A and B are shown apart, each in its own frame.
Chain A
Amino acid sequence: MRPKVAIIDFGVGNLRSAQKAFELNGANAVIVKDKDTLNTCDAIVLPGVGAFCDAMNNLNPFNKLLIENSKDKLIFGICLGMQLFFEQSEENGLHKGLKLMKGGVVKLPNNVKIPHIGWNTIDIKTENNLLKGIKSKEYFYFVHSYYALPSEEITLATTHYGVEIPAVVSKGNMVGTQFHPEKSGKAGLRIIDNFVDLVREM
């Protein structure tokens, strides 16, 4: 069965890689700009490019729908997409997020080069089906200047860059990765494969 996965179009950046990565793993991945198409999908991906404020503005028409859908559909937030789940971000001023996860998004510390760009290892704290087949200290590709500070226990894996950063979070039907699975070679594709399996099991 080919689950239909909606990749929400925020209007900027590379969505094609995410689309192709999901397709490679058996999903029918569609880039979605309207609510009707979103409603026909089995799962949702919030992709990872752009700035928090612009993304929230572009996401506005979908907000209510996303919050409703999060009750019975899986939602995968990638990088910025994961950050949008939280209450607010201090990127370019203080901006409200979707408030589906408790905590905020803050800037990386000044003692490291910003953005955090490149391959970094993750430490798995809690096993989860999303992380099936992923070994400890596996490398993933990170590229971000801000990171999430959850105020609830939802972190499945962390990475370290000047400070401990949540690399994978999960709450209810939502999962988020700070890294880009569609840019993390085989390991990233495995995570996407695991997600598509989870969608099939819903």
Chain B
Amino acid sequence: MLTKRIIPCLDVKDGKVVKGVNFKNLKFAGNPVNLAKMYDVQGADEIVYLDISASPQGRKTMIDVVKKTAEQVFIPLTVGGGINELRDIRKILKAGADKISINTAAVKNPNIIKEGSQKFGSQCIVTAIDVKRNYTLKKDKICVDDSNGKCWFEAYIYGGRESTGIDAIEWAKHVEKLGSGEILLTSMDADGTKKGFDLALTERIANEINIPIIASGGAGDIKHIHEVLTKGKADAALAASIFHFKKYTVGDIKEYLAKKGVTIRI
């Protein structure tokens, strides 16, 4: 049976892994290849590198990191951050990545999803959607109720800095039609809080689309991972801090999930 996936995410700046909250107090946490190897040994199902360099030199360095990773780590690797054009995708895949993740570029030019999936295969194209709840109701938006009232799910770009006015549920359906293979769904409201994933958001999107969802944002405890893979209906859970700050190993999480009856690779 197909298992749920546990995916550690490494933020990489100029070739080094950084950890911190909301880009403040960035601490250098080590060599991405070594960390990827460590997570592989712990039982990670995939690895995600998020390039937060925001510079051409940083992007070049990322290619080297991917090449070195491909020599030593033999589980799937997704690279995201600053991918703008088809040739960026080609370069990253050629260097040894299996999937790329695009967010801002997809909103600015949705055609990149279509062309990318036709050229490289939909399985290579992960569309990342950063979502924040918006309590200013608008007619054409899909509204939900929460403890703070009615809201809709708004998509954000540029690393969560710019709102788009786009309904995230509609956007998820649209990118599926364009050929995206998976959605990497990050709740900005939950991200960094360690209080759990946004289950309502994840479940809602899972009900509307037929491509896999990787949930991200909010993991603080093992229970949260269990919740998002069950109640939240996500196919995979992505986390950073709980692994980097060594709160749990991937093995700890998988053992717990297996005990709870979740189909997981051990």
Contact = CB atoms under 8 A, between A and B. Distances in A.
Contact of B235 (A14, A118, A189): A118
Contacts of B265: 119, 139
Interface of B: 1-5, 40, 45, 67, 70-72, 74-76, 90, 93-98, 118-124, 181-182, 210-212, 235-236, 265
A21 B74 contact: yes
Contacts of B121: 12-13, 49-51, 80
Interface residues of A, number: 38
A114 B179 CA distance: 11
Contact of B122 (A13, A142, A145): A145
A14 B210 contact: no
Nearest to A19: B70
Interface stretch (A63-71, A98-106, A177-185, A194-202): A177-185
B74 A115 contact: no
A115 B181 contact: yes
A189 B2 contact: no
Given A13-B121, A116-B2, A185 B182 contact: no
A16 B2 contact: no
A14 B97 contact: yes
Contacts of B1: 120-121, 160
Contacts of B236: 118
A81 interface: no
A19 B1 CA distance: 29
A82 to B, nearest CB: 15
Contact of A16 (B40, B45, B67): B67
Contacts of A51: 118, 121
B76 A113 contact: no
A115 B96 contact: no
A183 B94 contact: no
Given A13-B93, A16-B96, A20-B96, A118 B74 contact: no
Given A118-B3, A185-B74, A14 B93 contact: yes
A177 to B, nearest CB: 14
The 7 tightest CB contacts between A and B, nearest first, are A16-B96, A119-B265, A143-B123, A16-B70, A139-B265, A119-B3, A120-B2
A142 B122 CA distance: 14
A17 B74 CA distance: 7
Contact of B210 (A80, A114, A118, A120): A114
B235 A17 contact: no
Contact of B71 (A20, A113, A141, A185): A20
A117 interface: yes
A49 B97 CA distance: 12
A185 B75 CA distance: 5
Contact of B120 (A13, A113, A182): A13
Contacts of B5: 118-119
Interface string A159-188: 011000000000000000000101111001
Contacts of A145: 122-123
A54 B93 CA distance: 17
Given A17-B98, A118-B2, A113 B212 contact: yes
A180 B97 CA distance: 13
Contact of B3 (A115, A139, A180, A184): A139
A27 interface: no
A80 B237 CA distance: 27
A80 B124 CA distance: 13
Interface string A1-41: 00000000000111111001100000000000000000000
A12 B45 contact: no
B120 A183 contact: no
A185 B74 CA distance: 5
Contact of B98 (A14, A110, A139, A144): A14
B210 A12 contact: no
Nearest to B97: A14
Nearest to B76: A183
B35 to A, nearest CB: 16
Nearest to A9: B94
